[in-house]
A and B are shown apart, each in its own frame.
Chain A
Amino acid sequence: MGLEQINTLMEVFTAEDPMPFMHPEGDPWKDFREVMRLEWKMDFTYKHVLGKYSKFFIELANKKFVTTECPGCGKVWGIPRPVCADCLTITKWKELPGTGTLVGYSVSQFVPAFMKVEIPYVLSVVKLDGADTPFTHQLRNYGDSTDNIKVGMPVKVAYTEEKVDHPLLLMYFEPA
């Protein structure tokens, strides 16, 4: 049967020397230019644990935005972390009002196909009131034009009503 015996075979072809300028005396790899290409499919499913910041996601489902405050140095991390990275004290949960200011954003006209988002897609960094460091999430409901989006504008946390594939998508930002 020959090559047809290979279920995953895509092609067999003769490749060109990609560096002929290096080989004035002739292609040193000339006996190795026949190339085979296969299809190789991999598919995995993980049982992913969200660890010690799981409470953040649980509270999002209750339409509450919580983060962590350090009892050692007082720093409030916008994105919660169980240990304060400044002083290594174990932190405490703290609810924030969910209001804040836009500090940076980008507007994507194209996104990789794995991302289930509408185009244009706005990724934003928001300094939340009551937190010392910002939080990264999508900005939605910015009106009819992305020109409405300005660094410094007030924004707030909004909650998703529909089903989501990841608990972080239970929230997003929108203009306040």
Chain B
Amino acid sequence: MEILDKERRVYVLGGGISKFAAERTDGNMRDWMNEAVIEALEDSGTKIEDIEHSTTSYFSDHFDKQLKAGAIFHDNIGMCPKPNVRVEGGGGTGGLAIRNAYAYIKSGLCDSMIVFGGENMGRQVPSDVAQQFIALASDTDWEVQVAGFYIAYYAMMMTAHMDRYGTKEEQFATISVKNHRNAMYNPKAHYPMDITVEDVMNSKMITYPYKLLDNCLLSDGAACLVFSTEEWAKKNARSWGAKPTIEVTGTGCGTDFMRMADRPFPDPGITHFRGKQFGSQQAYKMAGIKHPREDLDCFEVHDAYSGVELVSYEDLGLCKPGESGKLAEKGVFDLGGDLPTNTSGGLIGFGHPVGATGLGQGVEVLRQLRQEADPKRQVELNSKRGAMDSHGGTGTFCAINIFERRD
């Protein structure tokens, strides 16, 4: 895989996020999308009439009970008759949508693209119905029928990890503490909280080894990003030159079998995210990153459950297999540590409106690289690079994207 046209580059001009919350009864998914779009247009200093293409990012047709909802989001912001495409890959949808923007612009199909994503996952259906909808993203003939659901799948992965490496519950509890804490400095976060490892350990056991506070949340919300070439930005974006220039320098994607059971045994077996290993290596190679823990200033990691973030560290090459728990305990991934992760609060603290999640990661990395984040969560810039990792299923679709500041 070689990027042929090294001259043609893709930039992130701006982003917007509509507050993530347990339930946004003030509006519906269409309203949140509009809010995120308006903010992204303001942030990028662009006008919708100049933008050539859009990408829709949402996961579930069940939650919003509206098929081809992208048509509505697209027409609501006056994009007709310009082209739109929908991207879908479960929890990885937003990450794949960013990758899609890169591909479309890089190929020359368009010079500019607006990517909007959201999900209507809050409290409009009871939580057990929501769990059922999400379970439909595992194999409905073979997994759902044995009463499989997501926390149970992830819990199996984690018990396998604990058995293999001696990873401890207290170690992944630190992830929940960190992400809820980081969310305190993000006014758009769903679940900011100042808690301790003991609080996590003492929270209600849901599915061993995961307690209530190890889990991410079902959230309502939307996010949006605007991308373009340099030439287009110079002509159409007031932000160009006025705000730091942020380039998309790497994108990678990997997959694995839908059912964990089918994955090559014992490696990755049910322990590791093979798709994440594969996708991150692609992205690092493209961005010229050799040692991701040193070569990145921040990393938004897909923390659907606290242990998932630990295993992801290993599969993203931030540490060796089995090492993640000890490093997390030492604070390596805290604000002020070697590589701060989920400065936004992540899925656990910021929230997880699926189609918005990956785009929200992108907005966070953009804000960090522009040094626009709340001072309490702003990272120190050294390499001026930030990464995001987003996955669907139990690592079925994995998308890793890298932004870099060009001064």
Given contacts A113-B128, A114-B129, contact A136 B259 (CB under 8 A): yes
**What does the 1/0 interface line of A1-32 toward B look like (CB < 8 Å)?**
00000000000010111110100000001001
The interface on chain A, measured as residues whose beta carbon lies within 8 A of the other chain's beta carbons, has a size of 53
Interface residue? B206 (CB, 8 A): yes
Q: Which one of B35, B141, B147, B261 contacts A138 once the chains associate, using CB atoms below 8 Å?
A: B147
Q: How far is the CA of A137 from the CA of B147 in the complex (A)?
A: 8
Q: Shortest Cβ distance from A123 into chain B, in angstroms?
A: 4
Q: How far is the CA of A87 from the CA of B149 in the complex (A)?
A: 30
Residues from chain A with Cβ under 8 Å of B153 in the complex: 106, 123
A138 touches B146 (CB 8 A): yes
Q: Shortest Cβ distance from A141 into chain B, in angstroms?
A: 15
Q: How far is the CA of A168 from the CA of B141 in the complex (A)?
A: 8
Interface residue? B383 (CB, 8 A): no
Residues from chain B with Cβ under 8 Å of A104 in the complex: 156-157, 159-160, 163, 270
Interface residue? B107 (CB, 8 A): no
Q: How far is the CA of A4 from the CA of B35 in the complex (A)?
A: 32
Given contacts A109-B206, A135-B261, contact A151 B163 (CB under 8 A): yes
B interface, over-half SS: mixed
**What does the 1/0 interface line of B10-42 toward A look like (CB < 8 Å)?**
000000001101001111000000010000000
Interface residue? A176 (CB, 8 A): no
Q: How far is the CA of A146 from the CA of B274 in the complex (A)?
A: 30
Interface residue? A90 (CB, 8 A): no
A18 touches B270 (CB 8 A): no
Residues from chain A with Cβ under 8 Å of B148 in the complex: 123, 136
Closest to A16 in B: B26
Residues from chain A with Cβ under 8 Å of B147 in the complex: 111, 115-117, 121, 123, 138
B26 touches A42 (CB 8 A): no
Given contacts A134-B265, A136-B143, contact A123 B156 (CB under 8 A): yes
Interface residue? B155 (CB, 8 A): yes
Interface residue? B235 (CB, 8 A): no
B270 touches A112 (CB 8 A): no
Residues from chain A with Cβ under 8 Å of B204 in the complex: 109-110
Q: How far is the CA of A53 from the CA of B264 in the complex (A)?
A: 21
Interface residue? B244 (CB, 8 A): no
Residues from chain A with Cβ under 8 Å of B156 in the complex: 104-106, 123-125
Q: Shortest Cβ distance from A52 into chain B, in angstroms?
A: 11
Q: Shortest Cβ distance from B294 into chain A, in angstroms?
A: 33
Interface residue? A89 (CB, 8 A): no
A103 touches B160 (CB 8 A): yes
Residues from chain A with Cβ under 8 Å of B187 in the complex: 19, 21
Interface residue? A156 (CB, 8 A): no
Q: How far is the CA of A113 from the CA of B149 in the complex (A)?
A: 12
Residues from chain B with Cβ under 8 Å of A40 in the complex: 65
B146 touches A151 (CB 8 A): no
- The residue in A111, A127, A166 that gathers the most chain B C-beta atoms within 10 A of its C-beta is A111
Q: Shortest Cβ distance from A108 into chain B, in angstroms?
A: 4
Residues from chain B with Cβ under 8 Å of A35 in the complex: 25-27
Given contacts A79-B261, A106-B152, A114-B129, contact A151 B159 (CB under 8 A): yes
Interface residue? B151 (CB, 8 A): yes
Q: Which one of B26, B127, B141 contacts A15 once the chains associate, using CB atoms below 8 Å?
A: B26
A53 touches B128 (CB 8 A): no
Given contacts A21-B187, A134-B261, A134-B270, contact A112 B146 (CB under 8 A): no
Q: Which one of A19, A77, A136 contacts B188 once the chains associate, using CB atoms below 8 Å?
A: A19
A112 touches B141 (CB 8 A): no
Q: Shortest Cβ distance from B225 into chain A, in angstroms?
A: 18
B159 touches A111 (CB 8 A): no
Which residues of chain A in 155-176 are interfacial with respect to chain B, using CB atoms and an 8 Å cutoff? 166, 168-169
Closest to B210 in A: A106
14 pairs across A/B with beta carbons < 8 Å? A35-B25, A103-B265, A103-B270, A105-B156, A105-B159, A106-B159, A106-B209, A108-B208, A112-B135, A116-B147, A121-B152, A123-B148, A123-B152, A136-B260
In the A-B complex, the 9 residue pairs with the closest CB atoms: A106-B155, A15-B26, A112-B128, A112-B131, A107-B208, A104-B156, A113-B128, A104-B160, A108-B207
Measured CB to CB, the residues of B under 8 A from A are: 18-19, 21, 24-27, 35, 65, 126-129, 131-132, 135, 141-143, 145-149, 151-160, 163, 187-188, 204-209, 257, 259-266, 269-270
Given A35-B26, A106-B209, A108-B207, 15 other A-B residues pairs in contact with their CB atoms under 8 A: A15-B27, A35-B27, A103-B266, A104-B156, A104-B157, A106-B156, A110-B206, A110-B207, A115-B149, A123-B148, A125-B261, A125-B270, A136-B148, A138-B146, A152-B163
